[in-house]
Amino acid sequence: MKQDLTMESTVRELYETPIGHDVLAKVLLQMGIAEKWLQNPIIGGRKLKTLAKLTQKQFDAAFWQALIDLVNAETAIPADRIAGAVGGIRPTWWKEAVIYQIYPRSFADANGDGIGDLKGICSKLDYLKDLGVDALWLSPVYDSPNDDNGYDIRDYRKIMTEFGTMEDFDELLKEAHARGLRIIMDLVVNHTSDEHEWFQKGLNEPDSKYRDYYFFRGDTGKEPNNWSAFFGGTAWNYYPEQKLWALHLFSKKQMDLNWDNPDVRADVIDMINWWLDKGVDGFRMDVINYISKTPGLPDGNDAIGKLMLFYGIEHYFYGPHLHEYLHEIHEKAFKPHGAFSVGETPGVGREMAKLLTGEERGELDMVFSFDQLETPGHIRFDDYEYDLNYYRDYITDWMEHYGNNCWMSLFYNNHDNPRMVSKVSKDPAAAQAIAKLLAVMQFTLKGTPFVFQGDEMGLVNYDFRSIDELSDVESVNRYAELLEVRPADEAFRIIKSGTRDHSRVLLPWNERAKALPEHLRQSPDPVITDLYRKLIRLRKAHPALIYGRFELLSGKKNVFVYRRSDASETFVIECNLHKKPRKPVFTENGYTLVYPITAGAQMQPYEARIWRKLN
């Protein structure tokens, strides 16, 4: 479909396009405004030029032009919008699976040096099997100088020394497969370490073909554009000796690859095939939606930069060749191996996600979308209480509109985020109930659950006492930046709220973790682990919880009641999303209680109940 929006088009016309839908939703989310606002007929009927006039303080003409260009550039429409194009859900192993994310550095330390390793992972395979998970996603285990804990890869075909050897990896793969556990690797190919051979050659050998593997630019006296790096400052490094600039969207040691160069794509695809030939079952693809950048790398729009707190995003979060490059990787690597892919796609909304994961498109199997992780108007570094009413609305919207040809990922945590339990409430007395509630939702909503290590232990955030206890490059850099404008204690408070270190402390079962200062120690909660085991088994035993229909029964304030059903049975799940007890909404005629063992007259704070009946 050709989109030909102009400033004469209406807000509704814009909102009806996939990109317009997602961008407007994202802008409102950043501004802390409910998306419902757009569904108001008066707003919807306004011309864009009128809206532009009303919002001229926030958004300049260039913003609207950039948006219209982005919308008009996407000619595809999601298949579920075409009558008759999508049938029923196609069953696959990864729709039925529960996937467990391991952050190897802090998971299990076999040799007692305080750093998790591959032998450690091997030693926990029986535990993981018993938990009931089907696949393990390993955060990067490749050779790396660890500026960003392995997300800065120096050699894609070598194992990080601290984690072990390639023999250890082969052993892990064999042992995992012997237990029926699949292994999903982390694919970090938006960038490499500056210590990668390609970058070193590109930087130091002017005639090398690797000069075009990255975004090198000659000396013009200042940064080639105004883009920001996510881990602080400008996105450009200057190399005085070579008189060259080079682009990095993340840390100063994570250099962006130039995907427009076919040799880059061929080398990356070779590498993927090398791992797939070894027998790994798939990849989680790091910031994979960032790989295609607007040609010429133009400056980022000012309004977008201010709104998103980073400049330049609109030039790479959904770049001009993204679909083409993903399709190429799919055709040349994933498809021939029948391998699984999940893309990490920050900034991608519901409709863009459909164009990335629609089964007819041959790009990705699933994506991680992140707009569920903070309540609208908040960022990770704010100290606030996350409102689960927002999660209900967000997840319901996706489940109702994502279509049978797309499949969702369900997660609250990963190695980049503080624990969701702690976001919802800082009250330690509430933690167990919240962990249970999150687990019940995760295993009974529609999609593939991704458990992050420690979720199943009921882990919460750590009470870090000083910046010296943090090691994440993002936290360290941001803290230094904040010190220029805030007193030290305030700067630390901000960093402490959002630091990725909350999810990266050595897990409690390690000997070395027991030696940590008391405020960095937690005990696994066996009640939560037991509940994870039970819920995973429940989900497995009842296809209605996997492929069944989802229907919202009540979404009023603090209430989330939904139904999952297929021809043979019906489940109803009722959740109290709030810290106050309340009367149940669901009347359980003909249903039996599956969880918990008994149901009182009141729903307790954050209580969740699962009911079931045969059809």
User: Could you list the residues that contact ligand ISL (CB under 6 A)?
Assistant: 148, 151, 188, 230, 250, 286-287, 344, 346, 415-416
Identity of the residue, 354 or 504, whose beta carbon is nearer to ligand ISL in the bound complex: 504
| Alpha helices per DSSP H over 241-349 | 262-278, 302-308, 322-329, 335-337
CA geometry: angle at 613 spanning 611 and 615, to 5°?
150
Strand partners, 610: 573, 595
Cβ contacts of 254 within 8 Å, gap of 6 or more: 147, 148, 151, 152, 191, 192, 193, 194, 248
Counting contacts by CB under 5 A, is residue 117 touching Ca ion? yes
Q: What is the DSSP string of 12-41?
A: HHHHHSHHHHHHHHHHHHHHT--THHHHSH
**Residue nearest Ca ion, CB atom distance:** 117
Residue 518 Cα to chain centre, angstroms = 31
CB of 106 to Ca ion, least distance (A): 11
- Residue type for position 43: I
Identity of the residue, 50 or 111, whose beta carbon is nearer to Ca ion in the bound complex: 111
Q: Give catalytic status of residue 113 as yes or no.
A: no
Q: Is the peptide bond before 140 cis (omega within 30 degrees of 0)?
A: no
Identity of the residue, 114 or 581, whose beta carbon is nearer to Ca ion in the bound complex: 114
Counting contacts by CB under 5 A, is residue 111 touching Ca ion? yes
> Of these partners, Ca ion, ligand ISL, none, which one is at the site of residue 286 (CB under 5 to 8 Å by kind)?
ligand ISL
> Of these partners, Ca ion, ligand ISL, none, which one is at the site of residue 602 (CB under 5 to 8 Å by kind)?
none
The correct pick among 115, 133, 507, 610 for binding Ca ion (CB under 5 A) is 115
Counting contacts by CB under 5 A, is residue 168 touching Ca ion? no
CB of 245 to ligand ISL, least distance (A): 20
Backbone angles phi, psi at 406, to 5 degrees: -125, 160
CB of 235 to ligand ISL, least distance (A): 12
483/490 Cα distance (integer angstroms): 9
Q: Answer for the pair 179, 277: CB distance below 8 angstroms, yes or no.
A: no
Counting contacts by CB under 5 A, is residue 113 touching Ca ion? yes
Residues in contact with Ca ion, shown as a per-residue x/- string from 51 to 90 under the rule CB under 5 A? ----------------------------------------
322/311 Cα distance (integer angstroms): 20
CB of 515 to ligand ISL, least distance (A): 26
Q: Give catalytic status of residue 351 as yes or no.
A: no
Q: What is the DSSP string of 392-413?
A: HHHHHHHHHHS-TT---EE-S-
Nearest Cα neighbor of 351 from 24, 89, 3 is 24
> Of these partners, ligand ISL, Ca ion, none, which one is at the site of residue 115 (CB under 5 to 8 Å by kind)?
Ca ion
Identity of the residue, 123 or 208, whose beta carbon is nearer to Ca ion in the bound complex: 123
Counting contacts by CB under 5 A, is residue 328 touching Ca ion? no
> Of these partners, Ca ion, ligand ISL, none, which one is at the site of residue 148 (CB under 5 to 8 Å by kind)?
ligand ISL
> Of these partners, Ca ion, ligand ISL, none, which one is at the site of residue 205 (CB under 5 to 8 Å by kind)?
none
Q: Answer for the pair 532, 442: CB distance below 8 angstroms, yes or no.
A: no
Contacts 24+ apart (CB under 8 A), 170-179: 170/278, 171/118, 171/122, 172/118, 172/121, 172/122, 173/278, 173/279, 173/280, 175/122, 175/125, 176/125, 176/136, 177/279, 179/125, 179/126, 179/129
196/249 Cα distance (integer angstroms): 16
β-bridge pairing 608-614 and 592-595: antiparallel
Tokens of 601: 């007259």
CB of 254 to ligand ISL, least distance (A): 6
CB of 357 to ligand ISL, least distance (A): 18
Identity of the residue, 109 or 314, whose beta carbon is nearer to Ca ion in the bound complex: 109
156/572 Cα distance (integer angstroms): 46
Counting contacts by CB under 5 A, is residue 511 touching Ca ion? no
Nearest Cα neighbor of 271 from 186, 204, 200, 338 is 186
CB of 310 to ligand ISL, least distance (A): 7
Q: Is the peptide bond before 91 cis (omega within 30 degrees of 0)?
A: no
> Of these partners, Ca ion, ligand ISL, none, which one is at the site of residue 346 (CB under 5 to 8 Å by kind)?
ligand ISL
Residues in contact with Ca ion, shown as a per-residue x/- string from 335 to 364 under the rule CB under 5 A? ------------------------------
Identity of the residue, 110 or 441, whose beta carbon is nearer to Ca ion in the bound complex: 110
Nearest Cα neighbor of 349 from 123, 27, 603, 584 is 27
416/448 Cα distance (integer angstroms): 19
Identity of the residue, 230 or 443, whose beta carbon is nearer to ligand ISL in the bound complex: 230
Backbone angles phi, psi at 94, to 5 degrees: -75, -15
Q: Which of 168, 286, 525, 574 is catalytic?
A: 286
CB of 473 to Ca ion, least distance (A): 21
CB of 110 to ligand ISL, least distance (A): 24
Identity of the residue, 134 or 148, whose beta carbon is nearer to ligand ISL in the bound complex: 148
CA geometry: angle at 162 spanning 160 and 168, to 5°?
70
Identity of the residue, 113 or 490, whose beta carbon is nearer to Ca ion in the bound complex: 113
Stretch that binds Ca ion, among 114-122, 234-242, 312-320, 342-350 (CB under 5 A): 114-122
DSSP state letter for 55: T
Q: Which of 109, 344, 365, 469 is catalytic?
A: 344
Reported residue count of the chain is 615
Cβ contacts of 518 within 8 Å, gap of 6 or more: none
> Of these partners, ligand ISL, Ca ion, none, which one is at the site of residue 555 (CB under 5 to 8 Å by kind)?
none
> Of these partners, Ca ion, ligand ISL, none, which one is at the site of residue 482 (CB under 5 to 8 Å by kind)?
none
CB of 216 to ligand ISL, least distance (A): 20
> Of these partners, ligand ISL, Ca ion, none, which one is at the site of residue 117 (CB under 5 to 8 Å by kind)?
Ca ion
CB of 207 to ligand ISL, least distance (A): 30
Return the residue matching tokens 């593997």. Answer: 213
> Of these partners, ligand ISL, Ca ion, none, which one is at the site of residue 113 (CB under 5 to 8 Å by kind)?
Ca ion
Counting contacts by CB under 5 A, is residue 147 touching Ca ion? no
Residue 509 Cα to chain centre, angstroms = 26
Tokens of 168: 């250890």
Identity of the residue, 346 or 508, whose beta carbon is nearer to ligand ISL in the bound complex: 346
Identity of the residue, 24 or 153, whose beta carbon is nearer to ligand ISL in the bound complex: 153
Residues forming the active site = 286, 344
Judged by the rule CB under 5 A, the positions of this chain that interact with Ca ion are 109, 111, 113, 115, 117
